[in-house]
Structure 1
Amino acid sequence: MTIDKRDRPGRVGQRGTTAGAPRSGGRTTERRDNTARRYATQGSAALQEPASVQEPVRFRDTATEETVPRLRVAPPAPVAVPRAPFIAMILVVVVGGVLGVLLVNTKINENAIRLGTLQQEQSHLDLKEQQLKKEIAQHEAPNNLAAQARKLGLVESGPPAFIRLPDGRVIGVPQPATGEPSITSPQG
């Protein structure tokens, strides 16, 4: 619907009207009456049906000359949130969290006990390693080696002779060992 600027009511000096029309082409103040003010337009009251309304207010469309029912804002549909699934979900989350914390604490305590046991075993093995190293050092002592050799029937030899490999020359005089085997040796 188009309205020519010359024919638009609501300007002073045009067609004898002094009431202002909105620029959007909506209702003019001439059409406003007491029945149009029955509906609240601000706040939560706009969503409620007034108690005094018996029939819907109808306005005339000037272009087609027919009555059009007044449109109004419908209240939003009530949102029915199912509470049982929400409560069940919250319970599952809380119980799952508590069980998760309990499981983590149990594993931490179990690992702490295992760590204590392993540390005791490690200290025991360290002591055993020290004892074995001490025994090896005692067996590697020169006097102990000579005693063990005599027990096996070995005798002391004289000065050794060496063979130089590049030319095959023998340095020193090789002599067989001339000692008596020990009494505890298998040969004696």
Structure 2
Amino acid sequence: MNVEKRDRSGQVGQRGARVGAPRSGGRTAARRSNPSGGYVTQGSAALQEQSTTQDSVRVWDSSAEPAPPRLRVAPPAPVSVPRAPFIAMILVVVVGGVLGVLLVNTKINENAVRIGTLQQQQSNLDLQEQQLEKEIAQYEAPNNLAAQARKLGLVESGPPAFIRLPDGRIIGVPQPATGEPAITSSQQGAGE
């Protein structure tokens, strides 16, 4: 009696043969219960079903020639890597990295302190520059210039005369300055 069984993938097997779903989407192979021991193939599998006819079945005579050995996948040869140099190299890399990070942090902190000092010096110099500019502006005021000129013994002049450069013509009449010169401290010391 043939009983069809369904597995999880919905495929039907005959005579109690179990047909499973492929794990990686590849081929599946299930043993038949036939005497030839052939494989059931599905999809684009490279296996072919063995024929059950007598002419395609080989019978090996053990006295004439030994049966060829079945080929199996051998496990990869064990690779033995010396662990001590590898561990030493990892330790050197880790210690070197930690020391490098510490060195970089130390340099960053030194530069931050130096930058703070330089910024404070810059602000002091900016204040000093502003004070000097105020003093210069006070000395450049017209009243202060006139007072300083009188202290030096200078007198005010009249209207100026101009020379036109292309032809050398003089515009205006030059006149000597009139007025009493101021008595300076050097003249007072000389007169006494």
TM-score by length of 1: 0.60
Letter in 2 for 1:140: E
SS in 2 for 1:146: helix
Greater relative contact order (Cα < 8 A, sep 6+): 1
CA positional deviation for 1:128:
0.8
Letter in 1 for 2:111: N
Aligned residue number for residue 50 of structure 1? none
CA positional deviation for 1:130:
0.3
Aligned residue number for residue 111 of structure 1? 111
Aligned counterparts of 1:84 and 1:117: Cα–Cα separation in 2: 50
Distance 1:115 1:121, change over 3 A: same
Of all paired residues, the percent bearing the same amino acid is: 77
Q: Deviations over 1:110-161 (max 9, x none)?
A: 1111111111011011101101111110111001111222222221111222
**Matched residues, number:** 137
Q: What does 1:142-153 align with in structure 2 at a 5 Å threshold?
A: 142-153=142-153
CA positional deviation for 1:69:
8.2
CA positional deviation for 1:163:
2.5
SS in 2 for 1:131: helix
Aligned counterparts of 1:183 and 1:124: Cα–Cα separation in 2: 42
Aligned residue number for residue 126 of structure 2? 126
User: What is the RMSD computed on CA atoms of the aligned residues?
Assistant: 2.9
Aligned counterparts of 1:143 and 1:185: Cα–Cα separation in 2: 20
Aligned counterparts of 1:176 and 1:185: Cα–Cα separation in 2: 25
Q: What does 1:26-175 align with in structure 2 at a 5 Å threshold?
A: 28=58, 30-31=59-60, 65=64, 70=69, 76-175=76-175
Q: Deviations over 1:76-129 (max 9, x none)?
A: 443222110111011011111111111111111111111111110110111011
Aligned residue number for residue 25 of structure 2? none
